[in-house]
Structure 1
Amino acid sequence: MKPLTTAVEIRAPAATAWELLIDTQRWPEWGPSVARVDCADRFIGPRTVGRVRTAFGLWLYFQVTQFTAGQYWHWRVAGIPATGHRVESFGPNLCRVLFEVPVLAAPYLLICRLGARRIKNILEEERYSA
């Protein structure tokens, strides 16, 4: 079954968006459901594992299950297939960040939409304040 998606276009380089998506120290800035991260890797890679503390206070283990550098990563949280994270470039200073959500987790698409908007705000604010 094809996942549900939400996306946002951002006036920033794709590489900058990608770095934000894989930086575990910055996940709480843009991830509405992530309060903290406990991970040996600051920047995730193909076999990264760790724990996230949810907004509800629960610690859940995660594992990155798919990883294509600069483009896409997917993870399992608490052993369950979770969101996919994708960056698409449309030029030197324009990209799209896209989240994929399994159909069975359709309500979570609203949380991902909020996360995508936060990413847009963070990156465009950083760009204009630099």
Structure 2
Amino acid sequence: MTRLQRTRTPDGRRLEVSHVLSVPAADAWEVLVDTARWPEWSPLVNGVESTDRRIRTGTTGRVRVSGVWVPFRITDCSDYRWSWRISRVPVASHRVDDLREGRCRIAFELPLHAVGSVPVCLRALERLEELLVAEE
């Protein structure tokens, strides 16, 4: 089930794009925090160089988007949720909700001005589901 809604988050009002998957939350989380896996599921990220392969608060690096390298910094990574800035601009936060019984919800929390990113997030959620189901 895919959902699009406005919500309040620790980062303020956001547009949330989410999808329920039949995979354990821990498995989804591991794919989201592994920088080497970002190009597998993100339609925009073509490369990653990072201080940490598994992100944490304070991880820095750069991502290649459309052939251009841009710097990023993880501003928060805790409780199955992480936020970041690309070129010092707050962008989508990523969250995994444990729904128990081997199910979870992956959510991207977008700043309201980033409504144009919804189709990209929907494609990322599809790719995540394909990856995670194939690994089961």
- TM-score after normalising by structure 1: 0.93
Unaligned runs of 5+ in 1: none
What is the match of residue 64 of structure 2? 53
Across the two proteins, how many residue pairs are aligned to each other? 125
What is the match of residue 6 of structure 1? 17
Sequence identity percentage: 38
Instruction: Map 1:48-127 to 2 at 5 A.
Output: 48-54=59-65, 56-69=66-79, 71-127=80-136
Residue 105 (structure 1) shift: 1.1
Kindly report the root-mean-square deviation, in angstroms, between the aligned alpha carbons of the 2 structures: 1.0
Residue 40 (structure 1) shift: 2.2
Letter in 2 for 1:61: P
**Relative contact order, higher structure (CA 8 A, sep 6+):** 1
What is the match of residue 49 of structure 2? 38
Runs of 4+ with deviation above 4 angstroms: none
Describe the superposition over 1:52-91 as per-residue Cα deviations: whole angstroms up to 9, x where unpaired.
001x11100000011114x100000011000100000111
- Relative to its length, the structure with more strand (as a share) is 2
Quick one: distance in 1 between partners of 2:109 and 2:121?
Answer: 8
